[in-house]
Amino acid sequence: MPQVTFHKGGKTFRDEVADGANLVVRAGIKRFPFPHLSYGCGMGKCGKCACRVLSGAEHLPPPNWKEEQRLGARLAAGWRLVCQLWLAHDIELAQDNAPTEDARCTSS
Ligand code: FES
């Protein structure tokens, strides 16, 4: 079972999840990483679930078109949309300073 280490607000949370678990789905039924994980649509549209992958990125599939559209250049900095990830390996994530808007809309 994958072990998830989740950093937010200067705190670290850690738990095991089932193979193939989706963290946004879990949070939606009030299971770890609830209530710490911020998320919204669950469909790759809002970007609120964006996290920086600190370790374990090598086990993830390539970003899908929704992540490419929402995260853009932030993909190269290690950001992923966790609603689009089904975990099969250990992963360490951070959600501090998570972007909640599309990078193309942050000029104001
Ligand atoms: S929850 Fe909206 S993009 Fe992931």
Homologous superfamily, domain 3-99 = Beta-grasp domain (3.10.20.30)
Cβ of 100 closer than 6 Å to ligand 1, yes or no, is: no
Q: Per-residue pLDDT tens for 24-60?
A: 999 999 999 999 999 999 999 999 999 999 999 999 9
Cα 53 to middle of ligand 1, angstroms: 16
Give the three-class secondary structure for 91.
strand
11 CA distance to ligand 1 middle (Å): 22
pTM of the full structure: 0.89
Under DSSP, is residue 94 helix (H, G, I), strand (E, B) or coil? Answer: strand
Q: Is 85 in the pocket of ligand 1 (CB under 6 A)?
A: no
58: left (phi over 0), alpha (psi -120 to 50) or beta: alpha
Task: Give dist(CA 3, CA 73) in Å, integer.
Answer: 28
